[in-house]
Amino acid sequence: MIRVLIDLEGIDGCGKSTQCKLLKEKLERIGKNVIILKEPTNEPHGQKLWDVLHGKRKATNEEILEFFILDRKQHVEEKIQPALDQGTVVIMDRYYYSSMAYQVAGGLDVNYIRNKHDFAPTPDIVLIFDLPVSTALERVRGHSEADEFEKEEHLEKVREAYLNLKDDPIVTIFDATKSPNNIFENVWNSISEIIDE
């Protein structure tokens, strides 16, 4: 059975959720069972994260990482691994590569974060959608409530941390300033290499 786990990443406003939707539709058209899973989840540890993101709760960067790990362990056990075991293509709208960007931007070591995720299935491919922070903030401010991580200086560090993942063999970085259809054409060219049609 083919096991496919695809992770879509980038700062808020980069268009990854749109690409998740386009990818799911395309994969379903070629007969694949597909599920989109999003992190943080709405489970108890995920709710703690949402409270931090929306300024309702204070936490250190290390505590935030621990919340993510606890939330992710439950997500892997209850949703991600069972879907993979059934041969479903799993599309992640953020996964542990988010921690390798956001928590690195907060001062943690990328290898420390990677090692903390030895329980998590490794993605087959990680797609990072890159665009200037100013452009991302313009998009986000129009239709989403700002959170603690939508501060420009921090997002510049997050963007840099994402770009520093370019040498990871499973990472592909896309120019997210292009039109969604143009971006998706490039996404599909990358994805089709790992999909057994």
Average pLDDT over residues 2-6: 90
pLDDT category of residue 147 using cuts at 50, 70 and 90? low
pTM: 0.92
pLDDT in tens, 49-103: 999 988 899 999 999 999 999 999 999 999 999 999 999 999 999 999 999 999 9
- Kindly report, residue by residue over 103-120, the tens digit of the pLDDT: 999 999 999 999 999 999
| Mean pLDDT for the stretch of residues 13-28 | 96
Residues sharing a CB contact under 8 Å with residue 150, sequence separation 6 or more, in sequence order:
12, 137, 140
